[in-house]
A and B are shown apart, each in its own frame.
Chain A
Amino acid sequence: MSIYLEISENVQCGKAKIVKELVQKAIDNGLPAAQILNEGLISGMNVIGEKFKNNEVYVPEVLIAARAMDTGVKILKPLLIEDGVQSTGKVCIGTVQGDMHDIGKNLVKMMMEGKGIEVIDLGTDVSPKTFVDTAIEHNCQVICCSALLTTTMEVMGDVVKEAERAGIRDKVKIMVGGAPVTEEFCKQIGADKYTSDAASAADAAVELCR
């Protein structure tokens, strides 16, 4: 088995310790950091993402896989910077103001990271202004908003308005999601993209970052 495949499989079953060892071994053997990332870590997360989309695996499995991937990414990070490897894109994500649910948002974040996107996590209870200010300051291509409450989903509409007010609406795409959110709602508030699950969200973000 190639070491990339071995890394990928150990990411999939969440074996953080083994992933760490394997990544170190790959580096020590002089393999290129970008390839370890893409063909090992990210490829493993992609498999999990597909399975999650099909409901074959659920939240706990995704979280342990993401944790395993993370241990690998941590070791690779300095090398990737050294090699000048570019991320696929840059987004900011948060749960909207008035809402503290963060599990769905975290999954979206992990899946996006699993696609090589740089994600700025704003946490929960995030005001429209914070979303927009962050996007401006860090040059994000996409703002991702999560809401789990019927009573807070409308804040997403305010994020769209705030982006318009700040004059960045033509430069920044806005993605929305969370259990009560629908395609129809996304259109209604003038956001750009809705997906029902985290893996599709990551695919969509890659598209939007192009």
Chain B
Amino acid sequence: MYKVTVNGEVLTADDGMLLSDLLIKSDKNVEHPCGGNGTCRKCIVTVNGKEELSCRYIIKSDITVLSPDSEKIISETGAEETGKTTENLCYVLDIGTTTLALALVSLDDKKIIKVITRTNPQRKFGADVMTRIDYCRKNGACELQKTIISEINSMISEFDLQKSVKLYVSGNTTMLHLLFGIDCSSIGVAPYTPTFLESKSENGYGLGINGIDTAESLPSISAFVGADIVAGLSYIGIPKSGKYNLLVDLGTNAEICLFSEHSALCTAAAAGPCFEGANISCGMSATDGAIYSYSKNEIRTVGDSPARGVCGTGLVDIIAELVCGEVIDETGFMECGAFEITDEVSINQIDIRQYQLAKSAVYSAIVTLLQIEGISFDDVEKMYISGGFSAKINIENAVKTGLLPRELAHKCIAVNNSSLLGTVKYACEKNDLTVYTGNTSYIDLSQNPVFSELFIDSMMFETE
């Protein structure tokens, strides 16, 4: 047994234990975006004065560890809060891979009374769903479930309601499996079959969630297009004009849906974690000190703190600037090798390459859906952008970098957390969700020749 002092607190560890395992077990929120694979280098801590990857450090003596406390990720839900309690209430929870949002809802007013957001504590197991699935495959669903439920309980207790009410839940397919403690390993390998897609109701007591009578989850469409997207569709609604709406969820998995009164297509573009900063050298989530907006004349950081890194929206701005200023050419080549934003923060060639993959995946998936449906940009009425950073993304810059089609820029509406808002709508109105789940086809892009070709071509940048 060794003594491990973490930020002043003394813990004990067995000989040969991985430092990351100890940090996870003792709820020290060091993040492990790549799930302990040793590839992302974001779990760096200081061990006896030396920087180490916590997922690679084997404890063989007493050590002193300094770990940066992970901070709350700024998340805007886009919800209006009334603050007015009424007789009939319910909770609505959105379980994002990154953030949790819990709303207390008045069923009488059909309005949100208050929302609280937290970082999903499962992040310590890995940033994206695949790393969580992998953890589940190796260790079972139990620990992941316990982690999320204890956070939900803590959020519910903050509302201090004196009675039990119903809880409506949405989230991606994997998050819902883990909430109910159901094995999700089969989602992780082809042919990606989830254990369940349908809506599920469970007794709160049985789940171990306090202050609720039942928990009801919304239905999902496929392994990678979950209840969060169904809720989003329900929030936006089907256009009556006979035209199409697009929903683009800009996150690691980048789900995209194209739907009209007659048909609905959806897919997941698997953009990667670059919008969350995980595979960018100076990337970080939207926490204190993250550059979230950038132009030649002005740099804005979260909390107006000194710049520590770049989050997704900042990255979009920076790359737009680099493209327009011809610091990078149309192939993405940056002659100067790296671009310094501040003394601390820079963007290098490999970061640009990561962005090229991500932006091309999203762009190509959008265009592929339009092509499969056989429609043009003109047939799209609105393009809704949802997801963690949709509120702050500069659409013009996104277009300049080739993330979103220029032809749709003026039809773009940011809807923030459409999953939460759509679930609130469902809780209040009980609208029929089978319109969204029933005849929606999932398009597998890995078998799609249109996507394959577009994906390569769209890695390029458009320069004047």
Contacts and interface: CB of A to CB of B under 8 A. Distances in A.
B411 interface: no
Interface in B409-459: 446-447, 455-457, 459
Interface stretch (A39-47, A77-85, A178-186): A178-186
A184 B37 CA distance: 10
A99 B189 contact: yes
A184 B38 contact: yes
B188 A151 contact: yes
A53 B190 CA distance: 30
Contacts of A55: 349-350, 353
Contact of A100 (B35, B37, B350, B447): B447
Contact of B189 (A102, A152, A180, A185): A152
B130 interface: yes
A150 B447 contact: no
Most chain B beta carbons < 10 A, residue from A58, A152, A184: A58
Interface residues of A, number: 26
A56 B333 contact: yes
Interface in B187-228: 188-190
B460 interface: yes
B429 to A, nearest CB: 38
Interface in B128-173: 130-131, 133-134, 137
Contacts of B332: 58
B20 interface: no
Interface in A92-121: 97-103
Nearest to A155: B189
B43 to A, nearest CB: 14
Interface in B307-335: 331-333
B331 A61 contact: yes
A179 B134 CA distance: 16
A149 interface: yes
A192 interface: no
Contacts of B245: none
B134 A150 contact: yes
Contact of B134 (A56, A125, A151, A182): A151
Contact of A101 (B137, B189, B333, B446): B446
Interface string B345-363: 0000110010010000000
A98 B349 CA distance: 31
Most chain A beta carbons < 10 A, residue from B34, B38, B126, B189: B189
8 contacts: A58-B331, A59-B356, A60-B331, A60-B457, A63-B456, A149-B188, A151-B130, A179-B39
Interface of A: 55-61, 63, 97-103, 124-125, 149-152, 179-180, 182, 184-185
